[in-house]
Structure 1
Amino acid sequence: MAFNRELVQTLVFPPVTQTVSKKDCQLYALSVGLARDPLDRNELPFVYEPRLRVLPTMAAVLCTSGHWIADPALRIDADKALHGEQAVRLHRPIPVDTPITGRSRVVNVWDKGRGKGAVVEVECQVADAKGTPVWTVNRTAYLRGEGGFNGRVQPKTEAWAAPERAPDAVCDLPSTGQQALLYRLNGDLNPVHADPDVASYAGFRQPILHGLCSYAIAGHALLKSVCAYDERRFRSLSLRFSAPVYPGETIRTEIWADRGRALFRCRALERNVEIIVNGVFEFEAEGHA
Structure 2
Amino acid sequence: MALSASVADPVDNTIINPAMVLSHKYPEVKFEYDERDVALYALTVGACSSDLADEKELQLVYHRDGQSCIKVLPTFVSLFTTKYNNELVLDVPGLHYDPKLLVHGQQYIEIYGPIPSRANVTNKIKVAGLHDRGKAAVLELEILSYLEGSCELLCMNRSSFYLRGAGGFSDSSRPFSYTTYPANEALLCGISSYFDPLHSDPIAAQEAGFSHPILPGLGTLGFVIRTVLRSSNTESTNVKSISCRFLHHVYPGETLVSEMWFRGQR
TM-score per shorter chain, which class? 0.7 to 0.9
Q: CA deviation at 1:107?
A: 0.8
Alignment equivalent of 2:258, drawn from 253, 258, 270: 253
**Residue pairs, 1:72-221, within 5 angstroms:** 74-113=95-134, 116-128=135-147, 129-150=149-170, 151-152=176-177, 157=184, 188-221=194-227
Question: 1:148 Cα deviation (Å)?
Answer: 2.3
Q: Distance in 2 between matches of 1:94 and 1:26?
A: 13
* Aligned AA (1:130): S
Q: Once the two structures are superposed, what CA deviation does each residue of 1:6-34 show, in whole Å capped at 9, x if it has no partner?
A: 43323332112223200010111111111
How many residues of Structure 1 are paired with residues of Structure 2 in the alignment? 232
Structure 1 CA distance for aligned equivalents of residues 247 and 230 of structure 2: 23
Q: CA separation in 2, counterparts of 1:42 and 1:215?
A: 19
Task: Supply the distance in 2 between the matched residues of 1:30 and 1:203 (Cα, whole angstroms).
Answer: 29
Alignment-mate amino acid for residue 125 of structure 1: L
Structure 2 unaligned segments of length 5 or more: list them: 1-13, 171-175, 187-191
Higher strand fraction (1 or 2): 1
Q: Offset of 1:229 from its aligned partner? A: 4.2
Structure showing greater Rg = 2
Q: Could you tell me how far apart the structure 1 residues matched to 2:145 and 2:92 are?
A: 27
Indicate conservation of the 8 Å contact 1:22/1:49, yes or no.
Answer: no
Change (3 A) 1:156 1:99: closer
Code of the aligned partner of 2:243: S
Counterpart CA distance in 1 for 2:212 and 2:81 is 29
Any idea what the Cα deviations from partners look like across 1:79-119, whole Å, max 9, x if unmatched? 10111210111001112333221111111101212xx2111
* TM-score of the aligned structures, taking structure 2 as reference length: 0.79
Structure 1 residue 134, shift from structure 2 partner:
0.7
Is contact 1:69–1:76 with CA below 8 Å preserved after alignment?
Answer: no
Q: Distance in 2 between matches of 1:158 and 1:93?
A: 25
Higher RCO, Cα 8 Å, sep 6+: 2
Secondary structure of 2:162's match? strand
Q: Determine if contact 2:96/2:166 at 8 Å carries over to the other structure.
A: no
In 1, the alpha carbon distance for the partners of 2:20 and 2:256 equals: 37
Q: Distance in 1 between matches of 2:141 and 2:58?
A: 33
Mean CA deviation greater in 213-222 or 86-95: 213-222
What CA distance in whole angstroms lies between the structure 1 residues aligned with 2:41 and 2:159?
19
The 5 Å alignment of 1:230-241 reads 230-241=235-246
1:13 corresponds in structure 2 to 26
